[in-house]
Structure 1
């Protein structure tokens, strides 16, 4: 009998398993794939960006920063939100939106923009500079949490697609599609794109978590982009790109509704990404060497969902983390573990308004 059975061993499930185990909970971590992190976690563009996800996500991002920096998971890069003359209103609105959130941003003109992005076309005239943005070593962070969880006694089971869930005598019975069975006092739904399907199996009401496909393509360009160039994002949300090991990682910032699946890129999205990129810089695109897609899953209000289901006893949510689940994982997992174990906030989570992320907002 486990205290918690967590369904999904991506960054969400792995970080929460480590935190629950640290509070003394007997924890089971179930993963449907052959290894943890196959889907969204393993396909991330891998950056920590203070503004990403909006003001409601900033507290989780900032609270996670020290943990990630002290663990050596971040490498500083910086980020630029860039715009044209027609985007002045959008840039102004961005500054107002984040004015009192604690993020560090600075407005730049054409000269400052060109200094950070050599070859940027003349039509791009201003930017917002975010110096704290950093690359995340996602694989290392994910493995860090899996290791912490195992050392604290968490059992991790892969190839364990949960096919049946039943409530009996104040505990849960779970069964995989291969017939394996487990018992737990509580279930945590950390199934990402499959979160609503897991909820239905447990008799809980789906929240409406929608998977959205995001495409990334790796380009070889000439001249080669400077290794220290920042992450570059369109203020209108049409693209972002950054250098990676001598190449460019580029996304059209697409959000295509999808069923939960092993996501694959569409050629139209790849072509659209390259066309948008060529309107930004005068570099020559020599080849699209790799392309992939992942699913980013959002609740209807685009805030994550952490905590006990208001209607189903012993069923909790840790889902809807969109594209910010990795960069917020330290604070999110700590906050969720404290709520699930009735523990007090600590230095990391004190001051975070947990009600923003409570599942009962959908009741």
Structure 2
């Protein structure tokens, strides 16, 4: 029986684990976190991901976990509505919107009976030969696997060990994002509220029972940025919005200062000429991230299925990796090209850009009402 080690117990890793186990492959998942995470921003499951989760028998469970959001409401400094865009008008393929942690947890539960999960550990070394890969861990004993998969996100450990330093492959797109759970329901359970100033966005998403605040702002690379440094993250967010006084921004900045659960990272693009090297392959954001603007969760599900299907179809891993990459790049490339356009709509740089975006939103709403 072939053995596969997956680094990363998130959306891509759990989906891949389920499908590989279904095809009779022995799977181990190693995850740096101590368990399944309980926080995370809402994400979409749509397009090529929908038939995958349906085939896994999870469509109804995901629908039950979906948020009740029906629209996005742009608000001014006083909180008055500038425009409201129904979600069905904002996408031709709305799919399901689900908190990221809930999506990962549902996928994990589906795979748990047939997959070995090892939490609170990470890979520290990979040594490949003609017959397999010897893997060392920070905590656990060394083990040997036929194949290793990096499903460990934008800051992938597997990618660094097998393909070289992160700086070689990750490009900052000039936007930063922070998200913060507010610990209480939103006043409006159906609308995402968005407040803009030039180069800045603050939003409140009702999520599912506990609202989530997001700060998305334009800015260049940060020297010495550490994606695990909470104090640094708080400082960067507070500095970016220090001059903002409108809407709920001061109150939400106070929440940032007091937070012990703040997600913060660069909106980045991962670029690799190939997604595999020998017996090591990447999937999800580790291979082709356009974080925030790239339908990353849906593409992670679809890519994991494509990789598992290719591995099940042939015993030659090199052929399987090539087939997976050829098919899945056709999905990811259009989203990568659209990332800057999406950023321009969500976080316009100038007051003129904001006015034009708002006028377009009002026109879209008017056209929809007139139908």
1:126 matches 2:83 = yes
RMSD: 4.4
Give structure 2 stretches of 5+ with no counterpart: 89-93, 315-323, 337-371
Q: Match for residue 292 of structure 1?
A: 261
Instruction: State how far apart, in whole Å, the 1-side matches of 2:60 and 2:96 are.
Output: 13
5 Å-filtered alignment, 1:141-290, equals 141-152=103-114, 154-178=115-139, 180-195=141-156, 197-202=157-162, 208-209=169-170, 214-218=177-181, 225-233=186-194, 238-243=201-206, 248-254=211-217, 258-261=225-228, 263=230, 265-267=233-235, 269-270=237-238, 279-280=246-247, 288=255, 290=259
Shift of 1:20: 1.8
TM-score, scaled relative to structure 2: 0.62
Corresponding position of 1:331: 302
Shift of 1:275: 6.9
Higher strand share: 1
| Deviating more after overlay: 140-149 vs 265-274 | 265-274
User: Residue 299 and residue 60 in structure 1: after superposition, are their counterparts in 2 closer, same or farther (change >3 A)?
Assistant: farther
Which secondary structure does the structure 1 equivalent of 2:216 belong to?
coil
Deviation string, structure 1 residues 197-247 (Cα, Å, up to 9, x no partner): 4234235686613588632245599xx953423113468762322235776
Instruction: State the Cα distance separating 1:249 from its structure 2 match.
Output: 2.5
How many Å separate the matches in 2 of 1:234 and 1:291? 24
Structure 1 CA distance for aligned equivalents of residues 330 and 13 of structure 2:
21
Report SS of the residue matched to 2:201: coil
Deviation at 1:4, TM superposition (A): 1.4
Q: Secondary structure at the match of 2:262?
A: strand
Q: Is the 8 A contact 1:193 1:297 kept in 2?
A: no
What is aligned with 2:340?
A: none
Alignment partner, residue 10 of structure 2: 10
1: CA distance between counterparts of 2:163 and 2:190? 49
Cα gap change, 1:296 to 1:275, in 2 (>3 Å): same
TM-score w.r.t. length of structure 1: 0.63
Measure the CA separation in 1 of the matches of 2:274 and 2:49: 18
Where structure 1 has 5 or more consecutive residues not aligned to the other structure, the ranges are: 51-57, 85-118, 344-348
**Bigger share in helix:** 2
Distance 1:174 1:270 in 2: 41
> C-alpha distance in 2, partners of 1:273/1:63?
41
